Amino acid sequence: MDPAKFDFYAMDCYRLLGEDRFAKNLADEVIRAGTDFDGSERLPMRMTEVRITLGVVAAGQGDLDQAVNYGEWALKGDRQSLPSLLTVSATQTSPAYKKSSSEY
């Protein structure tokens, strides 16, 4: 695995596991690593994934307005990760999905 992508992949795994606190911390790190000094984004697909993750975290915390904002932001990007959107929608609505972050 490319070491530069480790935080990104770990973020995705934690999101899928419902470990929102860890997913958010890694999402923040991916944003930091993927943003140039002038504020431009160097990694558009990863940034879309980060927004999806942050939206899931916000929804899990009951902040639906923020979740919608992140979702809209992810959809407005030049490059979108439609497979990731489908994966998130499938896992988040599955009866088997359990938010373990509520235990913290």
Whole-prediction pTM value? 0.79
The answer to whether 82 and 49 are in contact (CB under 8 A) is: no
**What pLDDT is stored for residue 103 in this prediction?**
47
Residue 67: pLDDT over 90: yes
Residue 100: pLDDT over 50: no
Exposure of 29 in the CB half-sphere (CA atoms within 13 A): 15
More confident residue, 102 or 10: 10
The domain locations on the chain are 3-86
Q: What is the DSSP letter of 103?
A: G
SS3 at position 94: coil
Q: How far apart are CA 43 and CA 32, in angstroms?
A: 11
Angle in degrees, CA 58, 60, 65, rounded to 5: 40
CATH fold group of domain 3-86 = 1.25.40
Mean pLDDT confidence for 38-53: 90
The answer to whether 41 and 47 are in contact (CB under 8 A) is: yes
Mean pLDDT confidence for 85-95: 65
